[in-house]
Amino acid sequence: MTRLSDEMEALAGEYALGTLDAAERTAVEARMAIDPAFREAVRAWQQRLAPLDDTAPPLVPDPALWSRIESQMNLHPPERTRFRSGSWIAALWDNLGFWRPLGLASALAGLVLAVTLALTIARGPLKPDYVAVLNTADGRAAAVVNVYADGTVNLIPLEDIAVPQGRIIEVWTLQSREQGPVSIGRLDRARSLKLDLRNLGRPDVNHLFELTLEPPGGSPTGKPTGPILMKGLAARSI
């Protein structure tokens, strides 16, 4: 699949984060309908970020909020759409190469979007049973561990991880103090990884996951020896 430019990758991330306005989202969704590489980038960002929503408690809006919104909508008549200055969309709006495929495939775009939406609704999102958000020492969310009902356990980095030469990243879990930390995976760079929990019980609430730097081949002692990069406790998905 074609590799996206940094600008298009960033645009996919903005869409997944929900920072684009309505007109920008419409433009991005039209692009997704005809550009498989861009559509896959958006899906990847949504997969990385969705578990963070699962760990956040729901908030009920103030009942007066809707009245304020209705009041503001009545006071301000619709204006011609303006894109944010400096946004990726603002630059792409004037880019003929970006929009030419849309002109050739406008009829198909609506159909593809409708079919995609229908399939997504019918299939439903696959939600993990448990989620562990792994934080760095300064409290930054740097990775997510998803535990699914079928026993699948995946590590999904949320940012790049600096791995010094001659070191690897080892993934650990602590399910009981008696057993101690157990290695469940190794990787040489930040990437998604299926974790091996076949010899352990399924993770439960407050089970610890952590990443450490270790020598090539893994810890020589079978227990963590290097600095801790990030760690977090499993919580039941909301």
DSSP string, 100-161: HHHHHSHHHHHHHHHHHHHHHHHH-----SEEEEEE-TTS-EEEEEEE-TTS-EEEEESS--
- Which has more confidence, 231 or 58? 231
pLDDT at residue 119 is higher than 50: no
Is 81's pLDDT higher than 60?
no
Whole-prediction pTM value?
Answer: 0.51
Give the position of tokens 């729901």: 58
Number of structural domains found in the chain: 2
- Stronger pLDDT, 17 or 36, i.e. the higher one: 36
Across 154-162, average pLDDT: 83
Q: Final residue of a domain: which of 106, 123, 140?
A: 123
Residues 134 and 112 placed together within one structural domain of the fold: no
Domain boundary among 108, 123, 138: 123
Which of 23, 150, 20 is CA-nearest to residue 80? 23
Instruction: Please tell me whether residues 134 and 115 are part of one structural domain.
Output: no
Instruction: Summarize pLDDT for 184-233 with one digit per residue, the tens.
Output: 899 888 777 888 776 677 778 888 999 999 999 999 999 999 999 999 99
- Do 180 and 211 lie in one domain? The reply is yes
Which tokens in the block code for residue 51? 């578990």
